[in-house]
Structure 1
Amino acid sequence: DVMNGVTEGMIVGSCTDVIAGEGLIVTAGGIDTHIHYICPQQATECMATGITTLLGGGTGPSAGTTATTCTPGKNLIRDMLQSLDQMPLNYGVTGKGNDSEQLALREQVIAGACG
Structure 2
Amino acid sequence: MTDANETPLREAGSTFLPKYTSDGLIAAIVQHAESGEVLMFAYMNAESLAATRATGRAHFWSRSRGKLWLKGETSGHYLAVQKILVDCDQDALVLKVLPAGPACHTGAPTCFYRELGPDGLSRLG
* TM class by smaller structure: under 0.3
Higher relative helix content: 1
| Structure with the higher fraction of residues in strand conformation | 2
Larger radius of gyration: 1
